[in-house]
Structure 1
Amino acid sequence: MLLVHDEEFSAVVAELAAISPEMEAIATADGPAGLAARIEASSPVGSVSGDADGACVLLYTSGTTGQPKGVVITRRNAFFAAVNFSFVGEIGPASVALCDLPFFHTIGLIAVARTTLMLGGTLVISDRFIPARTLAALADRQRAVTHYFAVPQIALALRNDPAYSAAALSGLHALFVGGAPLTQALIESYLDDGVALVNGYGMSEAGTVLHVPIDRRAVQDNPGSVGLPAPLLDIRIVGEGGSDVSAGEIGELWLRGPSVTPGYWNKPAETAAAFTDGWYRTGDLGRCEANGFYRIVDRLKDMYISGGENVYPAEVEAVLASHPDILDTAVVGIPDIRWGECGVAYVVLRPGAVATGEAIADLCAARLAAFKRPARILFVETIPRTASGKVQKHVLRQLHSDETFQRQA
């Protein structure tokens, strides 16, 4: 086992080495024992054939609905996932990609790093996201970064940083965004500066699935859409009975193709439940619009039923996010004696904002049908998210459950 690490993690590596004596650790620091020196002193190694369907990476899911699972990525999966993104992301030898996303996530490891290197482009790696530093790197004409990748929270942080300027992003071929819904306000703010936020949809289990074309008009005309299918994936939208839904109707996205995982590490029951007749069931609800563009409605597990009507939290969250005083928000369904389930909205206000629950409720009343409006609006300091920016809704449900228990006690 080989572990390459930065100096700041030396203490942790020492602890791991004590547990696993067979592990060899190499620091990236300069010096005779450092990574650069070891590479320089090494001898060339001949090519080694490998099983295309053998596991090469374990990517752990975000754990937004519970315990993370280890997604098995085979060599075949990684190759075709990179091919898919090379088409939709227009990656080639002239591309310069800046990556400050973590490599434990499919975007950083596969979409950015694997694709860029496989296509002969230049990969610029930053150890972490710091808004001012990222903006400086994007503005550096010597680096000439053409592709940058972000989750919506990163795109928002860049836009709100004092160092932000449209000129810093003018050299980009595209600014790719995924991992969570994009707000209309964020899309429009970047469009006003001449930058198109190119939205997409993917997952650890399949890599890139859908992507908006790199075209300003496509972004402008399809706000909130996740675009068109990647070329090497088959997609179905399936209803509760297991049949494809009619055009425009909502159903679960099912996938099939060479980039789709064979299953979860040491979890045969979860693997069996995730597949039906060779199709991977994403657990995400979506629809295909008349122009062929897809739209993700919500997670199947996040949808709740209030008074017999389906409520998709993402729709409610989009309305809440349009309020100028709201910085972040999340909506979950919780049990309700009268309606079966009802919505609870967790809201983070912008610094200095003074919006009240009544004002936010009025916004919901003006924009949403009665059964979609949250029954409670709770102000919090932060929304719990994973390292990749996804809301941990199971944590919010537990918080509400704990709060209810304490009130009853």
Structure 2
Amino acid sequence: MTDPKTGDAGPRGGWTCPIREGAHRHPEAEALTFAGSAWTYRALDAEVGRWVRALEDRGVGAGDRVALLATNHVASVCLFWALGRLGAVLAPLNARLTRVELAPLVEDVEPRLVLALGALLDRLPGTEPLESFVAPHLTPSLTCGPLTEDAPRVVLFTSGTTGRPKGAVLTEGNFRASSRASAANLGAHPAPRWLGTLPLFHVGGLAMLTRTAYEGGALILHDRFDADAVNRAIDAQGISHASLVATTLERVLDARGDRPVPPTFRLALIGGGPVPVPLLARARAAGLLALQTYGLTEACSQVTTERPGEADGRTAGPPLPGMHVRIVGEDGTAQGPGEEGDIEVRGPTVMAGYWKRPDATRDVLRDGWLRTKDVGVLDGHGRLTVLSRRTDLIVRGGENLYPAEIEAVLANHPAVQEAAVVGVPDARWGEVPVAFLALRAGQPMPSAEALDAWCRQSLAGFKTPARFTWVDALPRNAMGKVERTVLRQRSIG
């Protein structure tokens, strides 16, 4: 079997490292830029070979895990591809976690080697510095073993908002399938140039890293998100694609002012939840096509995405080609269009399982379907609207309330920068929704009465928050997800 994009061997013979393939097919094409430096496929292939040599010298081989604590860095890119050539597995750790949070994760994956950027070494005692792991003049290794479809590539820990973090095992086949499905949805591009601001310890960052290599494109990697740096890259480096969230999209537009986006920029994928309709309209007025998406770590990033020619910002779009999404009721039966229920996903991007967690794997993977524990609804065109995580569901007097629906209405208010809604106990109704809001800079703070009236224009009365609380910023965990437990405690206290 041959990969239709690259022509390299498929699962039977195993896939070749795409950086090695690129070095043969288009050696002088740009593969990566970072911190003012650039690497062609030929140069990156040689650098990855040096990393392979250094890892071989340390006894790293097939099946071994290497844990990594780092923000975005060229060394992380080389390590990822080098481990693939050896059949070893990367366990990227969230650079925002504390020493206490990191220790059990490292213990869980039992790594042969632990590397960290110098600035983060104190988080993991005994860790080796990433930047100096490879000697400058080390001779590249020619080792480049093939990878089969089921070969593990990463153990990627989930955020742990509902318990101890679990390591999702994502395979070479998962990443290849995700890349193919996304490309089929977005349309052909001869050499896409993806802006890499999402962290490489996040599935979204790894998805960009892999898809650019599979498609013969370039990753324009930034060590962190900076709106001015993003705009400079869009204007001067021919960026064609980007992945953002609503807050970073808004910051990019704020920093651009009234400058239009150049025609080289094709589109941005927007994840992390619903995007305010006015923000999408503002992006399109600037010439930036923003597509809403729904995805999760366990499905190797995207599951559904708006189609470029049909996007209206009202849903997270239909399933990507090759993916299947269904909505099921409490009894497990499939729901029809417009009927709410649990979101389940099936397709080649679904993970192999959770690392050393067979019970958790059996609980979430049943009959080929991934039980996401998110709540949503499909419309008559198969487009998905995500309503809530099951654990965030609010039941008021027997009525189900979905925080995402209420948050989307509040986020469209001109004075609201961001919003989160949680359920708190109530003697009469069982639970009532309470909203936490961050004020948009330069806007006057509206009264509770004004916010109540705003909500009632779009929501039934029982969905309108019982209270509105202003905060400087919403509390978030290390993965950037809103810590609703903290907000519930604040509401009760």
Does 2:489 align with 1:398?
yes
Shift of 1:260: 0.6
1:108 to 205, 210, 215: 205
Measured against aligned partners, the alpha-carbon deviations of 1:348-397 in whole angstroms (never above 9, x if no partner) come to 11234221222112222333212101111111111122455432222222
Deviation at 1:229, TM superposition (A): 1.0
1:231 alignment counterpart: 321
- State which drifts further: 288-297 or 173-182: 288-297
185-194 vs 41-50, greater mean Cα deviation: 41-50
Is 1:129 paired with 2:225? yes
Q: Report the equivalent of 1:49.
A: 146
| Structure 2 unmatched runs, 5+ | 1-59, 61-65, 76-115
Task: Confirm whether residue 272 of structure 1 aligns to residue 362 of structure 2.
Answer: yes
- Give 1:36 shift: 8.8
SS in 1 for 2:330: coil
Q: Does 1:174 align with 2:260?
A: no
- Report deviation, 1:123: 1.2
Paired with 1:225 and 1:244, the residues of 2 have a C-alpha distance of 20
Does 2:276 correspond to 1:183? Answer: yes
TM-score (norm 1): 0.86
Listed as ranges, the matches of 1:192-211 within 5 Å are: 192-207=285-300, 208-211=302-305
The 8 Å contact of residues 97 and 124 in structure 1, kept in 2 or not, is answered as yes
SS at match of 1:19: coil
TM-score, normalised relative to structure 2: 0.72
The alpha-carbon deviation at position 345 of structure 1 amounts to 0.3
Most deviating of 47-56 and 130-139: 47-56
* Equivalent residue letter for 1:190: A
Moved more, 305-314 or 3-12: 3-12
SS of match in other structure, 2:457: helix
After superposition, the CA RMSD in angstroms is 2.4
8 Å Cα contact 1:64-1:391 kept in structure 2: no
Flag the 1:234–1:265 CA change in 2: closer, same or farther, 3 A: same
- Which amino acid in 1 is paired with 2:225? F
Whole-angstrom CA distance in 2 between matches of 1:156 and 1:388: 19
User: CA contact under 8 A between 1:84 and 1:232: conserved in structure 2?
Assistant: yes
Contact 1:303 1:311 in 2 (8 A): yes
- Cα pair 2:158 2:165 within 8 Å, conserved: yes
The sequence identity of aligned pairs, in percent, is 34
Residue deviations 1:145-169 (CA, integer Å, cap 9, x gap): 11111011110111222x4444245
**Displacement of 1:193:** 2.1
Alpha-carbon distance in structure 1 between the residues aligned to 2:399 and 2:262? 44
Instruction: Name the residue aligned to 2:399.
Output: 309
**What is the alpha-carbon distance in structure 1 between the residues aligned to residue 429 and residue 163 of structure 2?**
25
Does residue 37 (structure 1) correspond to residue 143 (structure 2)? The answer is no
CA distance in 2, matches of 1:59, 1:237: 26
* Structure 2 contact 418–439 (Cα < 8 Å) conserved: yes
Matched residue pairs, number? 383
Task: Tell me the CA shift for residue 66 of structure 1.
Answer: 4.3
Matches of 2:356 and 2:335, distance apart in 1: 33
Maintained 8 Å contact 1:285/1:298: yes
Q: Which residue pairs with 1:374 in the alignment?
A: 465
Given the superposition, is the C-alpha separation of residues 136 and 376 from structure 1 closer, same or farther in structure 2, using an over 3 Å criterion? same
Q: SS of the residue aligned with 1:205?
A: helix
Task: Give 1:9 shift.
Answer: 3.5
Give 1:35 shift: 5.5
How far apart are 1:224 and its partner, in Å?
2.5
Q: Which amino acid counterpart does residue 136 of structure 2 have in structure 1? A: A
Counterpart for residue 324 of structure 1 = 414
Q: 1:92-142, CA deviations, whole angstroms, 9 ceiling, x for partnerless residues?
A: 4421111111011111112x11011111111111111111111111111xx
Structure-to-structure mapping, 1:277-296, within 5 angstroms = 277-296=367-386
Partner residue in 2 for 1:96: 193
Cα distance between partner residues in 1 of 2:163 and 2:186? 31
User: Is the CA contact 2:342–2:372 (under 8 Å) kept in the aligned structure 1?
Assistant: yes
Distance 1:336 1:4, change over 3 A: closer
Q: 1:14, CA displacement in angstroms? A: 7.2
Aligned to 1:406: none
